[in-house]
Amino acid sequence: QQACDALVYNRHGHYDDVLQLEKVLLPPVGDEDLRIKMLAAPVNPADINMLQGTYAILPPFPAVGGNEGLGEVLEVGSKVCDAKPGDWVIPVDAGFGTWRMEVVCKATDVIPVAKDIPLLSAATLGVNPCTAYRMLKDFGNLKPGDTVIQNGANSAVGQAVIQIAAGMGLSTINIIRDRPNLKELKDKLKSLGASLVITEEALQKPEVTNLFKDIRRPKLALNCVGGHSAGNLLAHMEYGSTMVTYGGMAKKPVPVPAKALIFKDINVCGFWMTQWKRNNMHDLSEIKAMVAELAEMVRRGQLSVPTCTQVPFPDYKVALDATTRAYSSKHVLMM
Ligand code: NDP
């Protein structure tokens, strides 16, 4: 039986204490299975939450870390007709365990991704751009000319929101934290298609209402952060608009003032990509179509290659440390 290196954990806790590079055995490739060589796998905030045991789904032990990543098919079971060696694939569901050199899985556990887009785009397409895409398509009944406001705008999801929204003819108001290189980040987000980029502090100033002389009040708010930052979004929204919470980076509850509900009738809800995928698991065509459409956006240059720091697999701690630090780019493990 073959074995490969994988980042394994047998209990929950801080990654320094629980995550170890170990040899794991690969099961034989069954009729309906694929053997896949992992090429690249990002470290996302949810991966850290899963290691800590605070995420909504927790794989059984021993578990392999990582939920997202790009693999290349090496071997195909005798009954698999829609995959061949050399194809690129990404996992469908969370909990796949992507931080490993190779994996044997059911062919239905992965979907294809086009090989003519950059490797880093393919490796990061299945979670963050999909989340941005769904939130913009499924909430707020948005039409060209409408406005979306979001906090955590520099996150990978936020950057995808800016780009997909621009393609839909929407304006975006993008809230970021103040930082030493503020102008650089503002310029970068504007180059992606952001209409406005403002800091959390600037959003609270009275003169911010002047913005709405030039831009419609938001029909949709996307909340990546929670806490005061979420409350500040509500203050600027249109009557009857929707706030979707998808992240909790501040680890604080979302404060909803009674006046936002009574006088503005704001609809407050959440979105979880994993649940959406699970609801669509019986027929993978919709998930495949979304990934294909996002790949097409990459090809057209509408969705740029994400700014990623590439980390050799054995140096995984560098990537995990960076993911828990502020003002850090997305780190991707390269197998
Ligand atoms: P990234 O790792 O790309 O970026 C994290 C972002 O969070 C950065 O922009 C960072 O801001 C910001 N941030 C970190 N800590 C704080 C804080 N204390 N207060 C305010 N902002 C903070 O993240 P992802 O795009 O991969 O994910 C973003 C969020 O979305 C996460 O919470 C993730 O779990 C969630 N998510 C949810 C999904 C769903 O289905 N609901 C799917 C995908 C992601 P800065 O740039 O200033 O450092």
Q: Report strand pairing: 88-91 vs 102-106.
A: unpaired
Same-domain pairing of 118 and 134: no
How many domains would you assign to the chain? 2
pTM of the model: 0.98
**Atom 33 of ligand 1, residue of closest alpha carbon:** 247
Let me know if residue 19 belongs to a domain.
yes
Distance set, CA 10 to CA 2, 19, 46, 170, 324 (Å): 21, 8, 18, 46, 21
Q: Answer yes or no: are the C-beta atoms of 56 and 38 closer than 8 Å.
A: no
CA of 19 to the centre of ligand 1 (A): 22
Q: Answer yes or no: are the C-beta atoms of 292 and 114 closer than 8 Å.
A: yes
For ligand 1, is residue 174 a contact (CB within 6 Å)? no
Pocket probe for ligand 1: among 224, 225, 251, 311, the residue whose CB has the most ligand atoms within 8 Å is 224
For a pLDDT cut of 90, what percent of the chain falls above it? 99
Same-domain pairing of 80 and 30: yes
Same-domain pairing of 108 and 32: yes
Range of the domain at 55: 3-124+306-334
Q: Which are the contacts of 139, defined by CB distance < 8 A and separation ≥ 6?
A: 220, 242, 244, 269, 271
Same-domain pairing of 165 and 186: yes
For ligand 1, is residue 162 a contact (CB within 6 Å)? no
- Report how far residue 266's alpha carbon sits from residue 229's, in angstroms, rounded to the nearest whole number: 16
Same-domain pairing of 8 and 75: yes
Q: Of 273, 289, 315, which marks where a domain is finished?
A: 273
Q: 3-state DSSP call for residue 213?
A: helix
For ligand 1, is residue 45 a contact (CB within 6 Å)? yes
Could you read off the pLDDT of 281-311 as tens digits, one per residue?
999 999 999 999 999 999 999 999 999 999 9
For ligand 1, is residue 127 a contact (CB within 6 Å)? yes
**How confident is the prediction for the chain on average, in pLDDT?**
97
Q: Report strand pairing: 330-334 vs 33-43.
A: antiparallel
Could you read off the pLDDT of 307-331 as tens digits, one per residue?
999 999 999 999 999 999 988 899 9
CA atoms within 13 A on the CB side of 187: 4
- Report how far residue 171's alpha carbon sits from residue 126's, in angstroms, rounded to the nearest whole number: 24
Same-domain pairing of 156 and 258: yes
Tell me the average pLDDT across 250-273.
97
pLDDT at 97: 98
Could you read off the pLDDT of 202-217 as tens digits, one per residue?
999 999 999 999 999 9
Let me know if residue 187 belongs to a domain.
yes
pLDDT at 326: 83
Let me know if residue 251 belongs to a domain.
yes
**Atom 18 of ligand 1, residue of closest alpha carbon:** 250
Same-domain pairing of 99 and 177: no
**Atom 29 of ligand 1, residue of closest alpha carbon:** 247
Q: Answer yes or no: are the C-beta atoms of 291 and 127 closer than 8 Å.
A: no
Let me know if residue 162 belongs to a domain.
yes
For ligand 1, is residue 272 a contact (CB within 6 Å)? yes
Same-domain pairing of 180 and 91: no
For ligand 1, is residue 247 a contact (CB within 6 Å)? yes
Tell me the average pLDDT across 264-288.
96
Shortest-distance atom of ligand 1 to CA 326: 48
Same-domain pairing of 56 and 144: no
The CATH number that applies at residue 208 is 3.40.50.720
pLDDT at 1: 81
Tell me the average pLDDT across 91-97.
97
